[in-house]
């Protein structure tokens, strides 16, 4: 082993950990993907129809709703973590669900975290369909429902890009999963919380290994995003 | 029978008044061109007539049905009409799926869609692109996709909103040809808006001139070009000479008008005492010496003051009490040896001198 620089050593050890498929690394990675993918799935299930409703229906305060959503894009994750902690803890209204310090609780929290982002991006994806296209759909004799379906299908790539962004925000955030999940080894430890902990314990090699994995996931999301946006 | 009848149509967007007092009747089987400057309300009117958006006021009947009273039938009526827009609009799908849209909305069977879409693409010469992504095609090709998408639905009325404004001459010719053939062979009623006067003349049986949100004049294109009803229409149809004058007398079917100390004869009955004389530049003939056997009622000497090229013509301004612009071919201007400062004779038929009432401006 090269003597001296702990960073270089840590980096080499990290590569070894990844290549050897270290069980701890694999377990944390899988949990991280599981939590954030599930959260993205449920968030999309809720946010896409709601976003579409906001876009297609005219109501008072529509503009205010859209601005609020856009403000919530930047919602601090620790705030969401704190609020969800209070909701899910024994003193909170949803304490009976026993979700605090479980992956289930982390999924719910990340779902809440990215719903505004997915809703807002759905609204702007649908708004990206210009007026002339909407006139064309109407002129071709589409019923109300057919119009909605055509516009959604036309905006599908932009909507998909929004979902990918949501996933990216979920997997990369640390604040809320730390508070709600508690970073319990073998139960609620995910990539970001593991990196935080191991770094503070000077366990650099594991941190770097997990960091490389997190970066590659982020890179993969970006790659998929640019593929989608090119359509 | 009028297939579309509109009275007193008014449409505004917030404080912007787009249409007002629009009266229009479109006969079954005719091609009507709406001509007018940009922003005069042509597109808005087409959208109102195609039931894409409602008017704020007015009566409108389409296929004999009062559409203001019967909002519930708009979808059915809309499905009997079709519209092609100025900007080529295609959806992010294959050419085939683009053309099939209208038929799918109408719940046509798969076999029928297949047959008609392939037929339609054949007709516009795009068969080889059936499976291509429509957004990958050129502008002209996209517009042909858009046209076949409308035509497969067999509309009884076809609206064309400046359909060739962004296209090259070949694509324009293809689209004009298809529209004229459908009108001739299938008796399709066509409403086309255009700011291209020549296109209006070429295609339409009748033109309507739209100025500032209303239809200012309708009639055969020759009427609108030669006998515009007011100054704004005259300006839009490209009349070079609009000269204020005073009616002096009316004898034997000819009106004498005095303008700039010169008496000009017109075949138009006087519309008022104070008038404006409307003369198209191409109706003014220039001669180097006094013509001997000239039959034009107006003949007088003038001084050439300005020559301005406007290929393939030249605009020649002459002074004969008032300024007159004549449109002469570049070749004839050469042959006559026209240059600034020379004396010329101008002749002008009374029929070519149109009179409109003088309005404050």
The set of residues, in sequence order, having a beta carbon less than 8 Å from that of A33 and lying 6+ positions away, is A171, A217
The closest CB to that of A132, out of B50, B85, B101, belongs to B85
The set of residues, in sequence order, having a beta carbon less than 8 Å from that of B279 and lying 6+ positions away, is B239, B240, B241, B243, B324, B348, B352, B353, B354
Domains of chain B: 2-231 (3.40.50.300), 240-357 (2.40.50.100)
Of B166, B179, B180, whose CA–CA distance to B88 is shortest?
Answer: B166
Tell whether A186 is covered by a domain: yes
CB contact under 8 A, A154 and B87: no
Residues lower than pLDDT 70 in chain A: 1-4, 231
Tell whether A46 is covered by a domain: yes
Q: How confident is the model at residue B238 (pLDDT cuts 50, 70, 90)?
A: confident
The C-alpha atoms of residue B220 and residue B211 are separated, in whole angstroms, by 17
Two structure tokens written together for B229:
């009803």
Tell whether A14 is covered by a domain: yes
Question: What is the predicted pLDDT for the residue at A31?
Answer: 96
Mutate to test the interface with B, among A125, A141, A147, A149 (most CBs of B within 10 A): A141
Helices A156-172 and A103-127 meet at what angle, rounded to 10?
Answer: 150
Tell me the average pLDDT of chain A.
Answer: 92
The C-alpha atoms of residue B321 and residue B303 are separated, in whole angstroms, by 10
Tell whether A38 is covered by a domain: yes
Give the mean model confidence (pLDDT) for residues B275-286: 92
Question: What is the predicted pLDDT for the residue at A183?
Answer: 95
Question: What is the predicted pLDDT for the residue at A3?
Answer: 60
Two structure tokens written together for B273:
């005492």
Distances, alpha carbon B31 to alpha carbons A139, B188, B221, in Å? 19, 8, 12
Question: What is the predicted pLDDT for the residue at B293?
Answer: 78
Smallest CA–CA distance, residue B23 to chain A, in Å, is: 22
CB contact under 8 A, B91 and A150: yes
| HSE-up (13 A, CA, CB side) for residue A74 | 4
Give tens-digit pLDDT for B312-321.
888 999 998 8
SS3 letters across A100-125: CCCHHHHHHHHHHHHHHHHHHHHHHH
Two structure tokens written together for A95:
């304490």
Tell whether A152 is covered by a domain: yes
Total domains, chain A: 1
User: What residues in B contact A135, CB-CB < 8 Å?
Assistant: 47, 52, 83, 85
Q: Which domain holds residue A48?
A: 6-230
Phi-psi region of A161 (alpha: psi -120 to 50; beta: other; left: phi over 0): alpha
The set of residues, in sequence order, having a beta carbon less than 8 Å from that of A178 and lying 6+ positions away, is A81, A192, A193, A196
* The residue to which tokens 């101008």 are assigned: B346
Tell whether A36 is covered by a domain: yes
Of B272, B268, B277, whose CA–CA distance to B321 is shortest?
Answer: B277
Give the mean model confidence (pLDDT) for residues B198-211: 92
Two structure tokens written together for B120:
């339609």
Distances, alpha carbon A2 to alpha carbons A7, A14, A209, A212, B251, in Å? 11, 14, 18, 21, 117
Smallest CA–CA distance, residue B32 to chain A, in Å, is: 19
Question: What is the predicted pLDDT for the residue at A1?
Answer: 47
Q: How many CB atoms lie within 10 A of CB B13?
A: 10
Tell whether A56 is covered by a domain: yes
CATH code, domain with A123 = 1.10.3720.10
Question: What is the predicted pLDDT for the residue at A231?
Answer: 66
**Is 70 exceeded by the pLDDT of residue B247?**
yes
Give the mean model confidence (pLDDT) for residues B295-304: 89
- Of residues A116 and B260, the one with the higher pLDDT is A116
> Which chain A residue has the Cα nearest residue B99?
A140
DSSP H or E segment with residue A13: helix A6-19
How much of chain B exceeds pLDDT 90, in percent? 70
CB contact under 8 A, B91 and A154: yes
CB contact under 8 A, A132 and B150: no
Tell whether A1 is covered by a domain: no
Q: How confident is the model at residue B23 (pLDDT cuts 50, 70, 90)?
A: very high
Question: What is the predicted pLDDT for the residue at A10?
Answer: 85
Give tens-digit pLDDT for B69-112.
999 999 999 999 999 999 999 999 999 999 999 999 999 999 99
Tell me the average pLDDT of chain B.
Answer: 92
Give tens-digit pLDDT for B107-129.
999 999 999 999 999 988 899 99
> Which chain B residue has the Cα nearest residue A156?
B92
């Amino acid at each position: 082993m090269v003597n001296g620089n702990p960073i270089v050593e840590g980096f080499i050890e990290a590569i070894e950990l990844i290549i050897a498929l270290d069980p701890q690394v694999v377990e944390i990675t899988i949990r991280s993907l599981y939590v954030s993918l599930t959260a993205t799935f449920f968030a999309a299930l809720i946010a896409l129809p709601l976003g579409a409703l906001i876009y297609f229906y005219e109501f008072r305060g529509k503009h205010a709703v859209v601005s609020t959503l856009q403000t919530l894009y930047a919602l601090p994750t620790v705030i969401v973590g704190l609020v969800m902690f209070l909701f899910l803890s024994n003193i909170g209204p949803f304490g009976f669900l026993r979700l605090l310090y479980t992956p289930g609780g982390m999924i719910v929290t990340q779902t809440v975290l990215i719903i505004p982002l997915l809703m807002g991006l759905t609204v702007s994806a649908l708004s990206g369909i210009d007026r002339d296209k909407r006139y064309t759909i109407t002129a071709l004799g589409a019923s109300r429902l057919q119009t909605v379906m055509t516009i959604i299908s036309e905006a599908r790539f932009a909507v998909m890009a929004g979902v990918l962004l949501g996933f990216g925000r979920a997997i990369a955030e640390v604040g809320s999963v730390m508070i709600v999940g508690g970073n319990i080894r073998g139960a609620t430890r995910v990539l970001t919380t593991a990196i935080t902990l191991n770094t503070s314990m000077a366990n650099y090699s594991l941190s770097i290994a997990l960091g490389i994995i997190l970066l590659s996931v982020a890179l993969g999301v970006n790659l998929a995003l640019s593929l989608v946006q090119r359509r | 029978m009028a297939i579309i009848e509109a009275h007193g149509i008014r449409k505004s967007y917030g404080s912007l008044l787009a249409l007002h007092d629009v009266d229009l009747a479109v006969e079954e089987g005719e091609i009507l061109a709406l001509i007018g400057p940009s922003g005069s309300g042509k597109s808005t009117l087409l959208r109102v007539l195609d039931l894409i958006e409602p008017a704020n006021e007015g009566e409108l009947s389409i296929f004999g049905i009062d559409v203001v009273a019967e909002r519930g039938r708009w979808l059915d009526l809309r499905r009997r009409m079709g519209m092609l827009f100025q900007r080529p609009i295609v959806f992010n799908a294959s050419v085939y799926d683009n053309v099939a849209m209208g038929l799918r909305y109408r719940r046509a069977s798969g076999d029928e869609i297949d047959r008609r879409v392939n037929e339609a693409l054949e007709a516009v010469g795009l068969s080889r692109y059936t499976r291509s992504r429509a957004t990958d095609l050129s502008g002209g090709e996209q517009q042909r996709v858009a046209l076949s998408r409308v035509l497969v639905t067999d509309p009884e009325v076809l609206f064309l909103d400046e359909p060739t404004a962004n296209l090259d001459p070949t694509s324009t010719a293809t689209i004009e040809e298809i529209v004229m053939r459908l009108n001739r062979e299938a008796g399709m009623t066509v409403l086309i808006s255009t700011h291209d006067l020549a296109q209006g003349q070429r295609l339409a049986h009748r033109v309507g001139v739209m100025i500032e949100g209303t239809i200012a004049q309708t009639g055969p294109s020759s009427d609108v070009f030669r006998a515009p009803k007011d100054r704004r229409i005259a300006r839009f149809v490209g009349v070079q000479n609009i000269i204020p004058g005073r009616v002096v007398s009316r004898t034997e079917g000819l009106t004498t008008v005095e303008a700039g100390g010169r008496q000009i004869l017109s075949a138009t009955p006087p519309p008022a005492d104070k008038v404006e004389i409307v003369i198209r530049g191409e109706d003014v003939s220039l001669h180097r010496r006094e013509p001997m056997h000239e039959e034009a009622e107006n003949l007088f000497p003038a001084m050439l003051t300005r020559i301005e090229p406007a290929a393939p013509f030249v605009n020649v301004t002459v002074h004969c009490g008032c300024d007159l612009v004549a449109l002469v071919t570049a070749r004839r201007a050469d042959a006559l040896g026209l240059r600034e400062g020379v004396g010329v004779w101008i002749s002008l038929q009374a029929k070519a001198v149109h009179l409109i009432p003088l309005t404050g401006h």
